[in-house]
Chain A
Amino acid sequence: MRNQKLTPILAGRTVKHTRQTGGVLQIAFDDGSVMKIKTGAPFKDSIAGKKVKAVRQKAIEFYLDFADGTAAPIALAAETASVMLRDKAGAMEYAD
């Protein structure tokens, strides 16, 4: 359930802002990294300012767990090939 590859990368980063454009959700973090997620349903939660604690995934259900104890569920477009994270310099950090 816990995404063992993405959790150690994202843990400690704080969400700066999000933007949903069509079927793609962009989450920008305070360190300048950006995660692009192909979504199966629009994401409307307000998560700016929240610090990531862990990432969980079960098939197309993707969750960002935050340090404040809340979680943001995100519906993925597909079980794989939906999430990509690049660092501030644009280098690939993670893709599923």
Chain B
Amino acid sequence: MQKSLKLIALFCLASVITISASAQSVSPPIVPDPAKTPGDVLEVTKSDICVPGYSKNVRNVPESVKRQVYASYGIASHQPKEYEVDHLISLELGGSNSLKNLWPQSYVTSPYNAHKKDVLENKLHKLVCDGAIDLKTAQREIATDWIGAYRKYVGTDIPPLAGGNTAPPATRSGKIIGNKNSKIYHAPGCPGYNQVSEANRVYFGSATEAERAGYVRAKNCR
């Protein structure tokens, strides 16, 4: 009986560790995955979206859809106020509630986060309604490169993403990146650090943590 209880306790502990490790291994996306979130729009015109209260009429993302969004990005759990399910092409720019237009955006990453994108969305909406840019252009620019669009229309207080690397700068400078296929990890400053594709990345807080998970340090990273 006591042996069984010990086994159950061990199993529970292992489950907690596994769940915790997998939750920690997902890095918040800074830009959406274009294969999952290419962007999608409603059949609307400038005269539709420039009516006060428009967004309120079209906002509708059920919890079931939100869960699908988090799952598709591998986010098994998250803290309150950690993410929003963002409309890549914002509602106020004619974006739809389709899964193709939704992605989990972090509130807490820096300097790229949902608050910054909100500023861009408001700015683009104003520019469209003022006639400074056309709606299709605004939709295309925010869908393809929201950080570039921010720098173009809002300001350069956030840096461009270097080399298309979608990992957050804090992660790039402060964490270990593992390759889940090769089980090799790279520390900041090592030659292969930014070479691991986003799809294969697993993040660790330290080399020890990576090694505990069965990862081996890259040979060119001594």
Interfacial residues, chain A to chain B (CB-CB below 8 A): 5, 36, 59, 78-81, 84, 91-96
Contact = CB atoms under 8 A, between A and B. Distances in A.
A18 B99 CA distance: 28
Given A79-B62, A80-B99, A81-B98, A94 B57 contact: yes
B57 A81 contact: no
Contact of B58 (A36, A59, A95): A95
B51 A78 contact: no
Contacts of A79: 62, 64-65
Contacts of B37: none
B11 interface: no
A92 B97 contact: no
A36 B42 CA distance: 12
B8 interface: no
Contacts of B62: 79-80
Interface of B: 40, 42-44, 48, 51, 54, 57-58, 60-62, 64-65, 96-99, 101
Contacts, number: 45
Given A91-B51, A96-B97, A80 B57 contact: no
A80 B96 contact: yes
Given A84-B42, A91-B51, A78 B99 contact: yes
B57 A95 contact: yes
A81 B64 contact: no
A80 B42 contact: no
Nearest to A77: B98
Given A5-B60, A92-B44, A93-B57, 17 more contacts: A79-B65, A80-B96, A80-B97, A80-B98, A80-B99, A81-B42, A81-B97, A84-B42, A84-B43, A91-B48, A92-B51, A92-B54, A92-B57, A94-B57, A94-B58, A95-B57, A95-B60
